[in-house]
Amino acid sequence: MKRIFKGDIIYTSNPKSFEIYEDSYLIVENGVVKSICKDLESISDDYEVLDFTNKLIIPGFVDIHLHSSQYLNIGLGMDKELIPWLNTYTFPEEAKFKNIEYAKIVYEKFISDLINKGTTSSVIYATIHKESTLLLMDLLNESKLRAYVGKVNMDRNTTEDLCEETDRSLRDTEDIILGTMGKNVKPIITPRFVPSCTPELMRGLADLANKYDIPVQSHLSENTNEVEWVKKLHPEIKNYASVYDEFGLFGQTKTIMAHCIYTTDEEIKLMSERGVFAAHCALSNYNLSSGIMPVRKYLDYGVKVGIGSDISGGNTLSIPQSIVSTIQASKIKWLESGKELYPLSFSEAFYMATKGGGEFFGNVGSLEKGYKADFLVIDDSNITNHNEFGAFERLQKYIYSGNETNIIKVYVNGERVK
Task: Give me the residues that bind ligand GUN (CB under 6 A), please.
Answer: 67, 82, 86, 90, 192-193, 219, 222, 284, 310, 313
Determine the residue with CB nearest ligand GUN.
313
Least Å distance between CB 395 and ligand GUN?
A: 29
251's contact among Fe ion, ligand GUN, none, with CB below 5 to 8 A by partner kind, is none
Residue 68's binding partner among Fe ion, ligand GUN, none (Cβ under 5 to 8 angstroms by kind) is: none
63 binds Fe ion (CB under 5 A): no
> Contact at 8 Å (CB) between 141 and 185?
yes
Decide whether 155 or 379 has the Cβ nearer to ligand GUN.
155
- What are residue 207's phi and psi, to 5 degrees? -60, -45
Give me the residue whose beta carbon is nearest to Fe ion.
Answer: 310
Angle separating helix axes 130-143 and 166-179, nearest 10 degrees: 20
Query: Is 359 a residue that touches Fe ion (CB under 5 A)?
Result: no
The least distance separating ligand GUN from the CB of residue 291, rounded to whole angstroms, comes to: 12
Closest separation between CB of residue 343 and ligand GUN, Å? 24
Partner from ligand GUN, Fe ion, none binding residue 82, C-beta < 5-8 Å depending on class: ligand GUN
d(CA 340, CA 371): 35
- Say how far apart CA 389 and CA 370 lie, in whole Å: 30
Return the number of other C-beta atoms located less than 10 Å from residue 179's C-beta.
Answer: 12
Cα–Cα nearest to 289, from 242, 226, 232, 241: 226
The residue (of 310 and 380) whose beta carbon lies closer to Fe ion is 310
> DSSP H helical segments within 98-165, as ranges?
100-116, 130-143
- Give the dihedral sign, CA 337/340/346/349: negative
Name the residue nearer to Fe ion (CB basis): 310 or 379.
310
Sheet holding 255-259, edge to edge: 216-220, 255-259, 277-280, 305-307
State the minimum distance, in angstroms, from the CB of residue 219 to ligand GUN. 4
Residues 293-312, one symbol each (x = binds Fe ion by CB under 5 A, - = not), give -----------------x--
Three-class SS state of 51? strand
Nearest approach in angstroms of CB 106 to Fe ion is: 17
Contact residues toward Fe ion (CB under 5 A) are 310
